[in-house]
Amino acid sequence: NGKGFDFKEVQISQEKRLDVVVTYLEQKFIVELKIWRGEEYHQQGLKQLAEYLESQNMEQGYLLSFNFNQNKEYRDEELEVDNKKIFAYWV
């Protein structure tokens, strides 16, 4: 519709890239994508996203974890990590 755009693997520094950035009207959304590999890996992803949000002067972002386990559980959480609001989803 010309009002929203998506960008993949947006480079923000020499070593860092944002997985997905969506813009709509005057808003920007940052989405970090991960494969579910357990709670420790998930915590690392939350910290990584919080750092990205800080570098972009943003207050909130989204973490989408893909769980390929046979007995997976679909869920969502609203978290605060390093004073950043993160919406986490497992699919």
- The pLDDT tens digits of the residues spanning 20-73 come to 999 999 899 999 999 999 999 999 999 999 999 999 999 999 999 999 998 888
The answer for residues whose C-beta is within 8 angstroms of residue 85's C-beta and 6 or more apart is: 59, 60, 61, 78, 79
| pLDDT score of 9 more than 70 | yes
Rounded distance between C-alpha atoms, residue 46 and residue 82, angstroms: 10
